């Protein structure tokens, strides 16, 4: 009777912790939503500050401008200097544009900047609630919270925010990433709590290994960093098209101008994406190796071309091709960027597609 009572108490405690975790995840989503609208307010107020953005670019005070102002034309009209809009300057030696980074989503507007800072504060608050929710889920199942897709999703989104906040703490010019990140986090958590939710349960026997902490944790971190790199790559393609149109004398649309001129220069976005992907690629290589070692321990073979293993390898090859393309003169720029997006698409299919639609030894979706 005592043993039964102890088991019932433990079960009740775990259920209570699971309920706390669910409440915290929903609370984090509510705060993330507030942050989402505040990021939008930052972009809206920034779009109203064309004069502020132009002045920041002309004086070289735009974020990431590295102290260099673009070539400008100054006209004298009745003793008052009229500053024209900055034009794209092309380096004749390297053939690359020498364009300063945009001022950011706030566009040089003080009120926009205030909303941006509030958005960061709300993001930090939501992240802390989110993180405690993940920890509560781990406590409720008495293991790492990575046993099914629901747990993977809530952990993945928390790690993605960790990457973003870490870059901010390191004084990197990434505040422009906030709106895109929080939008994705809300979508990810929304899918997790509605479609992928799985009640707390124990792991299948094959997952009872310390390799769970090594292999899956690195896979989550790699996915989060690959996501950040993919956002930078996508924005690079848009910004590069915008700069090319300006260089050729074209006139981009009003919305494109208001949005894209506040982002970092295409060269900065390109370097950011490359460095992020290059930095995490060795860890993705380790993730695959760790998975092979775990497979030998669990199933008696290192590699069996299981769908998950196959797509993990395809993803590795795709990113290897991207990094190689960056080192090849003829494949820099947009061609390499397309490869990076294809590689991230492979990672997404490896996670969602294989887990949900393909059956194999890695079928732990729980849905």
Question: Over the stretch 210-244, which tens digit does the pLDDT of each residue have?
Answer: 888 888 899 999 999 999 999 999 999 999 999 98
In our burial notation (b when 16+ CB lie closer than 10 A, e otherwise), range 255-282 reads eebbbbbbbbbbbbbbebbbebbeebbe
297 neighbors 211 (Cβ within 8 angstroms) = yes
Q: What's the token pair of residue 360? A: 């194999």
**pLDDT tens across 20-69, in order?**
999 999 999 999 999 999 999 999 988 766 544 454 444 444 444 444 44
Over residues 180-208, the mean pLDDT reads 85
Q: How far apart are CA 322 and CA 282, in angstroms?
A: 14
Indicate the pTM of the whole model.
0.81
Q: How far apart are CA 55 and CA 71, in angstroms?
A: 13
| Chain centre to alpha carbon of residue 43 | 19
Q: How far apart are CA 118 and CA 350, in angstroms?
A: 36
326 neighbors 336 (Cβ within 8 angstroms) = yes
What pLDDT sits at residue 288?
93
What pLDDT sits at residue 7?
67
**pLDDT tens across 241-288, in order?**
999 888 888 888 888 888 888 999 999 999 999 999 999 999 999 999
232 neighbors 272 (Cβ within 8 angstroms) = yes
Q: Where are the beta strands (DSSP E) in the chain?
A: 74-77, 80-83
Q: What's the token pair of residue 112? A: 């926009």
């Amino acid at each position: 009777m005592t043993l039964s009572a102890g088991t019932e108490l433990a079960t009740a405690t775990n259920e209570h912790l699971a309920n706390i975790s669910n409440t915290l995840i929903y609370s984090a989503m509510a705060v993330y939503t507030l942050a989402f609208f505040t990021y939008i307010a930052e972009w809206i107020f920034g779009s109203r500050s064309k004069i502020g953005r132009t002045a920041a670019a002309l004086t070289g005070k735009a974020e990431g401008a590295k102290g260099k102002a673009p070539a400008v034309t100054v006209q004298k009209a009745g003793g008052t200097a009229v500053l024209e809009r900055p034009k794209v300057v092309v380096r004749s030696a390297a053939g690359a544009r020498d364009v300063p980074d945009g001022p950011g989503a706030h566009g040089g507007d003080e009120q926009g900047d205030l909303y941006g800072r509030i958005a960061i504060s709300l993001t930090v608050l939501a992240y802390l609630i989110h993180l405690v929710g993940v920890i509560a889920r781990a406590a409720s199942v008495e293991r790492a919270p990575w046993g099914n897709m629901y747990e993977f999703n809530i952990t993945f989104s928390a790690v993605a925010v960790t990457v973003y906040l870490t870059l901010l703490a390191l004084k990197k010019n990434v505040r422009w990433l906030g709106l895109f990140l929080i939008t994705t986090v809300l979508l990810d958590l929304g899918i997790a709590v509605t479609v992928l939710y799985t009640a707390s349960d124990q792991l299948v026997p094959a997952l009872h290994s310390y390799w769970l902490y090594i292999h899956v944790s690195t896979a989550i971190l790699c996915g989060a960093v690959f996501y950040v790199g993919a956002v930078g790559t996508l924005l690079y393609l848009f910004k590069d098209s915008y700069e090319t149109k300006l260089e050729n004398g074209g006139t981009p649309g009003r919305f494109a101008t208001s949005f894209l001129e506040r982002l970092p220069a295409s060269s900065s976005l390109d370097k950011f994406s490359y460095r992020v992907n290059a930095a995490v690629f060795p860890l993705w290589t380790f993730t695959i190796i760790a998975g092979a070692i775990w497979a030998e321990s669990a199933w008696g073979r290192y590699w069996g071309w299981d769908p998950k293993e196959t797509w993990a390898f395809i993803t590795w090859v795709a990113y290897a091709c991207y990094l190689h393309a960056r080192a090849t003169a003829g494949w820099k720029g947009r061609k390499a960027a397309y490869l990076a997006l294809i590689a991230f698409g492979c990672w997404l299919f490896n996670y969602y597609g294989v887990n949900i639609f393909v059956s194999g030894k890695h079928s732990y979706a729980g849905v």
